[in-house]
């Protein structure tokens, strides 16, 4: 299969290696080839918007150019949305007398290592399942300063 015919691309790496630039360049190239592209960024610096001279930080899919949409995900907001969704789903399943304790336990779990990443994984999975006719570039970045990648 030709490299430019893949359905999903993951662009990652340490800080300063060119993830934003590579993602934007590949997205533009594919869009110019008449591919419908969704560029998704989890970069808290929102450099993707800088590259397009636009502000994409609203958390909504926005058009950048013909055939190219961009979504910049705020991982902290996405984590809050995910936790609130879990609480909402459990509300009708748990006795009212236990709900406060269940919510307290969920809040404690939300501050555990990996909770933001789990919320992002859930968001990305839903994007993939909803956008079956779109090629995706997923620009994933290290977004928690307390998580260090190996040297």
Q: What CATH number did the domain enclosing 131 receive?
A: 3.40.50.300
Report the number of distinct structural domains present in the chain: 1
Rounded Cα gap, residues 49 and 20, in angstroms:
10
Q: Structure tokens of 3?
A: 């490299």
Determine, yes or no, domain membership for 150: no
Q: Structure tokens of 43?
A: 């970069």
User: For the packed helices 96-110 and 75-91, what is the interaxial angle rounded to 10 degrees?
Assistant: 160
- Chain segment 52-96, per-residue pLDDT in tens: 998 888 889 999 999 999 999 888 888 999 899 989 888 888 888
Determine, yes or no, domain membership for 30: yes
Determine, yes or no, domain membership for 7: yes
- Per the structure, the complete domain to which residue 85 belongs is given by 3-139
pLDDT > 70? residue 147: no
Determine, yes or no, domain membership for 145: no
In terms of pTM, does the model score above 0.75?
yes
- Tell me the catalytic residues: 43
């Amino acid at each position: 299969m030709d490299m430019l015919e893949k359905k999903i691309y993951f662009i990652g790496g340490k800080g300063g290696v060119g993830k934003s630039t590579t993602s934007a360049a590949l997205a533009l190239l594919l869009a110019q080839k008449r591919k419908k592209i969704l560029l998704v960024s989890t970069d808290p610096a929102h450099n993707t918007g800088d590259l397009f001279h636009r502000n994409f930080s609203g958390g909504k899919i926005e058009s950048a150019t013909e055939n190219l949409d961009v979504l910049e995900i705020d991982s902290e907001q996405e984590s809050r949305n995910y936790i609130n969704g879990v609480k909402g789903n459990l509300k009708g399943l748990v006795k009212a007398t236990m709900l406060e304790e269940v919510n307290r336990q969920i809040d404690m779990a939300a501050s555990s290592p990996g909770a933001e990443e789990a919320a992002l994984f859930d968001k990305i999975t839903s994007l993939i399942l909803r956008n079956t006719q779109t090629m995706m570039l997923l620009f994933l970045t290290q977004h928690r300063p307390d998580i260090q990648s190996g040297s």
